[in-house]
Amino acid sequence: MNIHKMGSNKRIALIAHDNKKAELIEWAIYNKTALSRHRLFATGTTGKMLEKALDQTITKYMSGPLGGDQQIGARIAERKIDVLIFFWDPMEAQPHDPDIKALLRLGVVWNIPFACDRSTADFLLTSPLMHQDYDVIQPDYSVYLKRPPR
């Protein structure tokens, strides 16, 4: 069992599909004080909108369909993102659905907290664990490396 120390100052990735951007911006403004205690990362347009709304510097990656979701997924695998807030639109197919699925899969693989809707994001952000050090238990996937290829 591997343990990864997550500091009290979290690195939070914020992503929203087009139909959910307004909701994410509204949520972020409501939680501006709590979010200001952490480092924020976002995909393209969402990042620009959040930076303006929060008056806080945000590290911005490419737009999701152009690879931004994959960039954030890579940062999760590198242990450079601690929390993922992804307001995705369940009612509309996206041209980059495989990238979205891969991003959510990485959240589970690396055992990071993530929210895909406002209620879960509220619970996550208001958890006492959000503002203190936390030991993340990394599952042991070595058994998968020892299996013969299919």
Encoded amino acid at 60, one letter: K
Calculate mean pLDDT across residues 57-74.
93
> If DSSP codes are grouped into helix, strand and coil, which group holds residue 14?
strand
* Helix 44-54 vs helix 21-30: crossing angle, to nearest 10: 30
Task: Please give the average per-residue pLDDT across 33-54, as a whole number.
Answer: 96
Could you give the percent of the chain with pLDDT greater than 90? 76
Q: Is the pLDDT of residue 91 over 90?
A: no
Residue with token string 């996550």: 124
**Interval 115-141 mean pLDDT:** 95
What confidence category does residue 150 fall into, taking pLDDT thresholds of 50, 70 and 90? low
Domains of the chain are 2-146 (3.40.50.1380)
pLDDT on residue 103? 92
Which residue type occupies 48? K
Q: CA 75 → CA 19, 69, 97, 118, 149, distances in Å?
A: 25, 10, 19, 23, 27
Judge whether residue 29 has pLDDT over 80: yes
Please give the model's pTM, rounded to 2 decimal places: 0.92
69 is catalytic: yes
25 pLDDT more than 70: yes
Question: Above 80 in pLDDT, residue 3?
Answer: yes
Contact assessment for residue 111 and residue 6, using Cβ atoms and an 8 Å cutoff: no
CA distance 37 to 18: 26
Question: Which member of 18, 69, 82, 133 is catalytic?
Answer: 69
